Amino acid sequence: MTILILLYKRFRGLADSSSNNEYYEPLFESIAGYGLGGSFVALFGRVGGGIYTKAADVGADLVGKVEQNLPEDSPKNPATIADNVGDNVGDVAGMSADLFGSFAESTCAALVISCDTLVGKGSCNFFISNLMFPLLVIAFGIVICIFVSSIATHCMTVDKNEKIESTLKITLIVSTILLIGIAYLASYLSYPHNFELRLRGKTIGDRTALHPFLCTLFGLVSGLIIAAFTEYITSHAYSPVRDLAESCRSGAASNVTLGLALGYFSTVLPAILIAITAYLANYLLGYYGVALAAIGMLTNLPLSLAIDGYGPISDNAGGIAEMSELDPYVRDRTDALDAAGNTTAAIGKGFAIGSAALVSLALYGGFLHNAGLEFSSLISMTEPEIFAGLLIGAMLPYLFSGFTIKSVGKAAQAMVKEVRRQLRENPGILQGTVEPDYKACISISTKAALIEMIAPGLLVKNHLFRSFLLLFSSVSFSDPKFWLDSCPELLSVES
């Protein structure tokens, strides 16, 4: 991208100038297609690769493991090679293309918006070097990630299965901590001491290098928290996966039900973090701040890709060990690595999805700003509260569905245990000589229907969320008239 900027700069006959910001508009708008190209390739790489790998994986398992009882990656299975190739096509190349597309879009969005919204204040003139913060922080991130990766390969010894995930997690934490200081250094080197932000019809002066740094920091920290939460949801070391494995005792239906509920629950924290990040970044630097937050989430992109590729590499290693008929202990080790790799692969997906949401808002804001539509009352998403509320509102159906589906799964497990208990303790039930205890099963369903509906019921009751949404407004909470006007049912005896 840096080479493209310099080439466009030379071909257009542009030289470093102290003129106003209009000088840089044609330069950075020329590279907007870079992000489009990255997204176009990412679409085919991610979706096409995903279709390839899952088709091969499902086909190999259904026939080989289920129908023919063959070992995993047995050379007797015709789909084994396709399965191993799919790990590279979908999980490595596809994810790399996806994250690169997000990186290209966020960087282009930041550059395009900055060239029209950031200007020097007073005698302080903006030069092209003052607009290169997005590329500078990414460049620093590459160096830091290469340095931090040596911690896992040379400084830490993995002699137990339990240390695999922790080693990868430590590298991600260390890189995030180091990148906090590096981001401030890049911000200090890029921006002058004072600059003006011309956005949403007003000019905000006296912006220091702290504000771009804070926007980047929001994305960086949010990415780390999303990664930690993803590990909690997907790692076998924590209760969600262990509870899901325990549900298999009740059959495949309980496993599918609770697994779906767990997936719905996993959307809650990332959606809230993205909403908070978008709101704070937009509050500080408008859509330019949102683009910087997306870049901050992708600052440790090289390390995220390395961690994401850990699982497919381990999976292929296990396949080679099986097809080569190596000793069983080799496959045991590769399986342990693969289990940890499944968690680390999910961490990479969290970065990709979180950054994509921020990038979409940044691109939307860049379009509105350049098209002069920021003052249109018909487009309400120009306000940060609207986008944050939109993300949270879109998450609520998944949270509600997660509560209800989990309730069904828990009640079904209890029902299965009760039926098994009765049939085990009273064999005469199947022979028709003993009447089953119908009331016990009725009691299980009744209790589940009454108790498990409390959380979903509170979730959809508007009073709680009216209070939550009012935190973003300027309405005084001490005004009784407002509450009575907004919630007339408060006058009822029940309320």
Q: Catalogue the E-assigned strands of 107-193.
A: 118-120
Tell me the mean pLDDT in the region 413-421. 86
**Least confident among 160-169, 189-198, 289-298, 349-358:** 189-198
Tell me the mean pLDDT in the region 288-297. 87
Position 285 scores a pLDDT of: 80
Q: Which residues contact 477 (CB under 8 A, 6 or more apart)?
A: 470
For the stretch 153-208, pLDDT in tens is 888 877 777 777 778 888 888 888 999 999 888 888 887 666 666 655 445 555 56
Position 232 scores a pLDDT of: 86
Q: Catalogue the E-assigned strands of 200-333.
A: 202-207
Q: Is the dihedral of CA 198, 190, 280, 145 positive or negative?
A: positive
Tell me the mean pLDDT in the region 261-278. 88
Task: Pick the most confident of 13-17, 99-103, 160-164, 346-350.
Answer: 99-103
* Structure confidence at residue 91 as a pLDDT band (50, 70, 90): confident
Residue 72 φ then ψ, to 5°: -60, 130
Give the residue, 136 or 130, on which the prediction is more confident. 136
Packing angle between helix 133-150 and helix 268-297, nearest 10 degrees?
A: 110
In percent, the amount of the chain with pLDDT more than 70 equals: 81
For the stretch 444-481, pLDDT in tens is 888 887 887 777 777 766 545 555 555 544 444 445 55
CA nearest neighbour of 300 among 133, 131, 149, 107: 149
**Least confident among 385-389, 431-435, 468-472:** 468-472
Distance CA 414, CA 452 (A): 13
Does residue 320 surpass a pLDDT of 60? yes
Q: Are 288 and 110 in contact (CB under 8 A)?
A: yes
- Indicate the burial class of 404 (C-beta count within 10 angstroms; 0-12, 13-18, 19 or more): middle
Position 489 scores a pLDDT of: 58
State whether residue 204 is helix, strand or coil: strand
Give the residue, 58 or 18, on which the prediction is more confident. 58
Distance CA 269, CA 247 (A): 24
Position 476 scores a pLDDT of: 45
Position 377 scores a pLDDT of: 47
Distance CA 258, CA 385 (A): 33
Position 217 scores a pLDDT of: 92
pLDDT, averaged across the chain: 78
Helix count (H) and strand count (E) of the chain? 21, 3
Distance (Å) of CA 71 to CA 58, 59, 67, 312: 14, 14, 11, 18
CA atoms within 13 A on the CB side of 123: 0
Task: Pick the most confident of 8-12, 405-409, 471-475.
Answer: 405-409
pTM of the entire structure? 0.78
Q: Are 206 and 124 in contact (CB under 8 A)?
A: no
Tell me the mean pLDDT in the region 373-401. 71
Does residue 63 surpass a pLDDT of 80? yes
Tell me the mean pLDDT in the region 309-334. 86
* Structure confidence at residue 352 as a pLDDT band (50, 70, 90): confident
DSSP state of 23: G
Q: Two tokens at 294?
A: 């997306």
Q: Which residues contact 476 (CB under 8 A, 6 or more apart)?
A: 482
CA nearest neighbour of 191 among 141, 124, 146, 284: 124
Q: Are 103 and 38 in contact (CB under 8 A)?
A: yes
Provide the β-strand partners of residue 278.
none
Position 218 scores a pLDDT of: 92
Tell me the mean pLDDT in the region 208-219. 85
Does residue 115 surpass a pLDDT of 80? no
* Structure confidence at residue 376 as a pLDDT band (50, 70, 90): low
Distance CA 294, CA 138 (A): 11
Does residue 491 surpass a pLDDT of 70? no
Written as one letter, the residue type at 222 is: S
Distance CA 364, CA 155 (A): 44
Distance CA 348, CA 251 (A): 31
Position 354 scores a pLDDT of: 78
CA nearest neighbour of 90 among 121, 137, 24, 45: 45
Distance CA 494, CA 245 (A): 43
Q: Are 220 and 296 in contact (CB under 8 A)?
A: yes
Q: Two tokens at 88?
A: 């590279």
For the stretch 136-149, pLDDT in tens is 898 898 999 888 88
Distance CA 408, CA 212 (A): 47
